[in-house]
Structure 1
Amino acid sequence: MPQVKHLFDAMPADRRRRLTELGHEVSLPRATRLFEEGRRADRFWIIRSGQIALDQRVPGRQAAVVETLGRGEVLGWSWLFPPYLWHFGAETVGHVDALEFDAPLVRALCEDDPILGRAVYRYVAETVAERLHGTRTRLLDLYGPQGSTAGP
């Protein structure tokens, strides 16, 4: 997790209220496909309960799950950076309750309110960095030398 555990913790209460007013509660059944890699990123979610698997297409194979997100985590960051296309796909693992946001509205709010915008961009940047670090660690676990010794 990033230094700030939740997006709302990254901002003053009045800004949190402004952002919350743009979200709406959604209830998603198991195996709901939220988005596909390469498609337009126009929403994001804060997960209230349940889990969502991020996956990546693998040619000739089933999509590979690269990470599973849960309570309190933000699903989606591609909505914040041009060209606003998803880098992964996402599907609910079980029932999920979340707060869903319209990305263009939140981007406009971030532009209009520099304090809120800075908090959102910083949180998302820290989240991306932390997830990249986690992915690197998983790749090293999968493909790094395991129990091998140097030399002939």
Structure 2
Amino acid sequence: MSTLHSILEQMTPEAREALLAHSHRVTFPAGTRIFKERRRAEKFWIIECGTVDLDTHVPGHKDAIIDTLGYGELLGWSWMFRPYTWHLGATATHDVIALEFDAAAVRELCTEDSAVGRSVSTAVAAVIADRLDAARTRLLDLFAPHGSGTPLAHAR
């Protein structure tokens, strides 16, 4: 799991409250494909319970699991940047309870309230940096001749 206990803790209280006003609770049974790579990113989630594998298609190989997300973690950041398409896929590996957000509504909120926008953007940017580092390490572990030499747990 990420070193950030919860993305919400990285936001100002005002931003957290404004963001949570745009959420509702959803569930995904284990095995549910939540989203697919290259499809439109119209929602995002904060996981309250359960786990989700992030994966990517690797031609000539089975999909590679890049990361596993759990409590407090942001599921999906592609909603924030044009063209608003997923960079990875996601599958619930254990039953998931999550807060779901409508991406267009949150983008509008961030545009209307610049302080909220800065807080949300900063928190999401930290997630992106963490995920890129994890993805790089995982791909090296999977495909480099001798791996990256860094265990996945230490890459995050």
TM-score above 0.5: yes
The list of structure 1 runs, each at least 4 consecutive aligned residues, that deviate by more than 4 angstroms after superposition, is: none
Name which of structure 1's ranges 135-144 and 67-76 shifts more when overlaid on structure 2. 135-144
- Once residues 37 and 5 of structure 2 are traced to their aligned partners in structure 1, the CA distance between those partners, rounded to angstroms, is 26
- Once residues 106 and 64 of structure 2 are traced to their aligned partners in structure 1, the CA distance between those partners, rounded to angstroms, is 30
- Once residues 137 and 61 of structure 1 are traced to their aligned partners in structure 2, the CA distance between those partners, rounded to angstroms, is 18
C-alpha spacing 1:34/1:145, structure 2 compared with 1 (3 Å): closer
| TM-score relative to the length of structure 2 | 0.85
**Letter paired with 2:72:** G
Do the aligned partners of 1:7 and 1:120 also contact (CA within 8 Å) in 2? no
**Letter paired with 2:24:** H
| TM-score relative to the length of structure 1 | 0.87
- Once residues 66 and 141 of structure 1 are traced to their aligned partners in structure 2, the CA distance between those partners, rounded to angstroms, is 10
Query: For 1:28-39, what aligned pairs fall within 5 Å after superposition?
Result: 28-39=28-39
Query: For 1:94-133, what aligned pairs fall within 5 Å after superposition?
Result: 94-133=94-133
Secondary structure class of the residue paired with 2:31: coil
Which residue does the alignment assign to 2:24? Answer: 24
1:87 aligns with 2:87: yes
- Once residues 127 and 15 of structure 1 are traced to their aligned partners in structure 2, the CA distance between those partners, rounded to angstroms, is 17
Over alpha carbons, which structure has the higher Rg?
1
Q: Please list every run of 5 or more consecutive structure 2 residues that lacks an aligned counterpart in the other structure.
A: 148-156
C-alpha spacing 1:111/1:61, structure 2 compared with 1 (3 Å): same
Root-mean-square deviation (Å): 1.7
Secondary structure class of the residue paired with 2:72: coil
Q: Please list every run of 5 or more consecutive structure 1 residues that lacks an aligned counterpart in the other structure.
A: 147-152
Cα shift at 1:27? 1.3
CA deviations over 1:29-71 (Å, ceiling 9, x no partner): 1111111111100000000011001111123443221111111
Do the aligned partners of 2:33 and 2:90 also contact (CA within 8 Å) in 1? yes
